[in-house]
Structure 1
Amino acid sequence: MRRRDFIKGAGAATLALTTAACTKSGVAPEVASVSSSPRRPFSDPSLPELADVALNTARAAGASYADIRIADYRRQRVATREARILDLADDEDRGVGVRVIANGAWGFAASARIDKDEIARVTQQAVALARINAKIGREPIELAPTNAYVDVWNTPIERDPFEVPLQDKVALLLAINAKALEVSGVSFCSSQMAFVREHKFFASSEGSYIEQTLHRCLPGFQVTSVDRKRNSFKTRNSYADPRSVGYEYIESYPWLEEAQQAGEDAVAKHTAKSVEPGKRDLILHPTNLWLTIHESVGHPTELDRAMGMEANYAGTSFLTVDKLGSFQLASELVNFMGEKTHVGALATCGYDDDGVQTTEWPMVSGGVFVDYQTTREQAHWIGRAASHGTAYAQSWKDVPFQRMPNVNLVPGTTPLSLEQLIASTDDAILIKGRGSYSIDHQRYNFQFGGQTYYEVKNGRVTGMLEDVAYQARTPDFWRSCDALCSEEEYYVGGSFYDGKGEPGQSNAVSHGCVPARFRQIDVINTARTV
């Protein structure tokens, strides 16, 4: 997939009507009914009226800021193994969350009941909690300014997964299993699909009224080969990654072809040569590299982590604020962009849960670390005038906070295919697929595995390897990058479930990248590690 094809039309799904408001925290304008209508009508005309109950109640109670999210979610999962169904689940939930600033502190309350009386009660509770929090707060909350928007934004999809009959989904999954089992030596195959539809209406005391419907899908399978003579079993998972798209992704992916190849790979692993440990050049395929990006670049550039606010649970970051704008994180070839705008990427939306219109910005430029992920509350911590739009809450009953956007490795500017990269490499290991991983709390020392490994000698792939993992310190690893393929090799991987916070929340995030070469990285043999 070409990067320009992936990002083309990134803003096409957004039809924004922007008002002139650009309000800072501490100003509480009069709340009235929606003065402008979006170019598409809201799905439920009562949503703005319900939102105004919270906004007017908060203003009357003395809050300097308020927002409300009325949201509903539908989730479906289908799982199979061999010729049987293991799991069918389809659930929905709906509720309202109200967030306010009063006396310079946040207050939040939520309810599964959505009516005017309950919304008023919840809002009063949020204001009361804010006043309690203000007594222990260190400094008043300061929000970066944002425009007010009246808009409807939907994930561009061609076919709604929830309108596809379950029997069609089951039939495809069973066909995947059967295809893998046709390969001699394959013992088991399981497969699954998961779908999420997230619908939410956001309104704020600054004049925004935003409705969004987001779709995500997670397909995949696992093939296992058991060799009783060798007393071993080997697995190979699908390379397919989740996307923010409709069922057309499921219909267009070559499942049966990959199931057969995965079966052949799993069987071949039994006789693959065990890797010799030592320093080796690596060629990392995007199906493997995206996870390394997620852990070693995505998480360290979360500003709250860098400020120590996640230290109790998810750790801190070696990318402390004193390194901003000067630290050479990677080689000069390496550039990373943060964004929530690329069509098909998991974190993409029109607006974040602060009501900020999403955008794209540089995070690493010429190898230098230049920016963090920020929300409205965080921007002033590092002297920024605006938020990067990375606030998100996993449900109506959770508080929005800073969550990872899509973080992408920019392709090389010189035309270079994967085949050409391999041909230009004398001695390396090619790694494909997501495997096991481990990284310390500062995101500084790490170890990653993969699904399949291949030895490259004198510009050719000479055979399969096994028992491979690579270890490095994050800056050393990225500084060793000396080749990036060009945009025709661009691929988007991602995580459906990325955890953070206490209480814990989960979000979905993608990472686009191209095949890349890294020089003289420590490779270990996992079968020999005690």
Structure 2
Amino acid sequence: MLPKFALLGNPIDPLQALEEGMTVSMKKELADIALNAAKSKGATYADVRIGRYLNQFIVTRENRVQGVSNTESFGVGIRVIANGSWGFAASNNVTREGIAKTAERAVAVAKANAKIITEPVQLAPQQGYGEVNWKTPIEQNTFAIPVKDKADLLLKVNSIAMQGGANFVNSAILAVNEQKYFASTDGSYIDQDIHRIFPTFTVTKTNKATGKFETRKSLSSPVGMGYEYLTPTPESKVSGIVTRYKDRYDILEDVKNATIDVDQKLKAKTVEPGKYDLILDPSHLWLTIHESVAHPTELDRVLGYEANYAGTSFLTLDKWRSKNFQFGSKHVNIVADKLQKGSLGAVGYDDEGVKCGEWDLIKEGVLVNYQAIRDQAHIIGLKQSQGCCYAQSWEDVQFQRMPNVSLQPGKDTLSVDDMIKNVEKGIYIIGDGSFSIDQQRYNFQFGGQTFYEIKDGKIAGMLKDVAYQANTQEFWNSCTAVADARDYRLGGAFNDGKGQPAQSNAVSHGSSTARFNGVNVINTARKI
């Protein structure tokens, strides 16, 4: 995915990322020009997004730096409603004249679209907030850390892996800063400064005698934080079979553990297919949540708007209207939000100027809601948007995008050790791996990074070639326990794709370790 990210802007010197961009007062002046131009041409609603998007990617392999990319993208996107239809236009000419022409072009697009619409846009009401701002609460701006320091850290990661016997290792740090200004005819002028970071590596070892190899990826998570994410504290460690991390991340300790894990994976016995009770770590479960819960509760998928590319959803409106569709067991409580500190989705306001919040998707196993934006809210009887509208850049139109979607911790005191000691035949899975899921987000298969056999309540050694299969409803109904909040951690993705033209957004999924009984496990190395 690196080439795609690298194309989102023009190359710059790393120090240019620290220069202040356009002042807020100038952005407000330009936004008012756009709003007035749109209204003068017949728009009944308009919003303006002036954005500066910074990306930095440092990629290494073994003892060398493979590449450093620093990009900047700056421009304006204007969305309007005219004659009951949406129109959108964007430009990198962010001048008084350029922004007025862009607004006029957006209205012209709306009027052209209006000739073929079957019903006018119904936009949920939204109060204006006046002039407000929001910033990711970072301690260290990743872009302010010298490139050499970050490259040296990655090379040290690689060196530890090679000293531990790795044949191959690559590592990277990805950093994003979105400086976004939003204004609308509702009366909002919102300035936001959003930061994200993703440190990662992959370690590979080979068995020269057999020619086989095993890998282990980092157990880091992309987060909405600054460089402080890479300065671990004793409180950031979660002890267990494999050390995991919450809030902060120790990349040097993780790579050391990874070299040991790949040795064990090479020697591990292959799994016997059958029914197992699964203990799923948050570093693994986030991806299952993402694919089988977060995607099918996107309202545009439910309505078929994404059928041509991203697919549809088995969670059709009739299931929601029944008010008793048993998505999962009583232990399954899943919340959508754009508020969690440190999460990728955390912002103060979405790209429609809606103040962000949280809401239930699954309550005690029952489907209770979806993810909706301003022009979708009326479809499910909402009086206002849920604040989950997003565009990957100024030149892309904003549309419904996934917020953070997370499994809530169990209410009773329950540790991972407590879970394991009650399992007779099971597998403990850590880390995300390969996956496959159908276009309705129903039938699926998931792998992982490391797998541990559980026999009579104890860990009996490592397994390999493990994947589990289920459909979404039977899987979540097999959930029999969720560990308490002490174990809660975030996972996530930097690049979740959707839409045509395609866009990418970053999203987190939190959970505590959870148990699922009687899940079908297959051996991925055996031919059917």
TM-score by length of 2: 0.92
Q: Which amino acid aligns with 2:265?
A: K
Matched length: 488
* 2:243 corresponds to 1:263: no
Shift of 1:288: 0.4
Q: Who is 1:411 aligned against? A: 409
* 2:224 corresponds to 1:244: yes
Q: Who is 1:177 aligned against? A: 158
Q: Who is 1:500 aligned against? A: 498
Q: Who is 2:191 aligned against? A: 211
Moved more, 246-255 or 63-72: 246-255
CA distance in 1, matches of 2:215, 2:388: 36
Q: Who is 1:164 aligned against? A: 145
Q: Which amino acid aligns with 2:372?
A: T
Aligned with residue 471 of structure 2, among 463, 470, 473: 473
Q: Which amino acid aligns with 1:166?
A: V
* 2:90 corresponds to 1:110: yes
Q: Who is 1:320 aligned against? A: 316
Q: Which amino acid aligns with 1:385?
A: K
Shift of 1:453: 0.3
Q: Secondary structure at the match of 1:262?
A: helix
In structure 2, do the counterparts of structure 1 residues 64 and 84 end up closer, same or farther at CA, with 3 Å as the change threshold? same
Structure 1: 4+ residue segments shifted above 2 A: none
* 2:33 corresponds to 1:53: yes
Q: Who is 1:30 aligned against? A: none
Shift of 1:326: 2.2
Shift of 1:114: 0.4
CA distance in 1, matches of 2:479, 2:115: 50
TM-score by length of 1: 0.91
Q: Which amino acid aligns with 2:152?
A: A
Structure 1 unaligned regions, length at least 5: 1-41
Q: Who is 2:487 aligned against? A: 489
CA distance in 1, matches of 2:450, 2:23: 47
Shift of 1:251: 2.5
Aligned with residue 131 of structure 1, among 111, 131, 142: 111
For residues 42-441 of structure 1, the aligned pairs below 5 Å read 43-149=23-129, 150-184=131-165, 186-252=166-232, 253-324=249-320, 325-441=323-439
CA distance in 2, matches of 1:390, 1:467: 38
Q: Secondary structure at the match of 1:45?
A: helix
Shift of 1:162: 0.5
Shift of 1:260: 1.1
CA distance in 2, matches of 1:420, 1:180: 33
Structure 2 unaligned regions, length at least 5: 1-21, 233-248
Q: Percent of aligned pairs with the same residue?
A: 52
Shift of 1:267: 1.4
CA distance in 1, matches of 2:267, 2:389: 48
Q: Who is 1:462 aligned against? A: 460
Shift of 1:70: 0.5
Q: Deviations 1:113-142 (Å, cap 9, x if unpaired)? A: 100101111111100110010011111001
Q: Deviations 1:192-233 (Å, cap 9, x if unpaired)? A: 000000011100011000000100111111000011102101
Q: Secondary structure at the match of 2:128?
A: strand
Cα pair 2:24 2:191 within 8 Å, conserved: no
Q: Which amino acid aligns with 1:453?
A: F
Shift of 1:427: 1.3
CA distance in 1, matches of 2:201, 2:251: 9
Q: Who is 2:12 aligned against? A: none
CA distance in 2, matches of 1:147, 1:247: 35
Q: Deviations 1:159-190 (Å, cap 9, x if unpaired)? A: 00000001110111011111111213x21111
Q: Which amino acid aligns with 1:93?
A: S
Cα pair 2:272 2:523 within 8 Å, conserved: yes
Shift of 1:43: 4.3
Cα pair 2:197 2:224 within 8 Å, conserved: yes
Q: Who is 1:19 aligned against? A: none
CA distance in 2, matches of 1:522, 1:65: 52
CA distance in 1, matches of 2:29, 2:521: 60
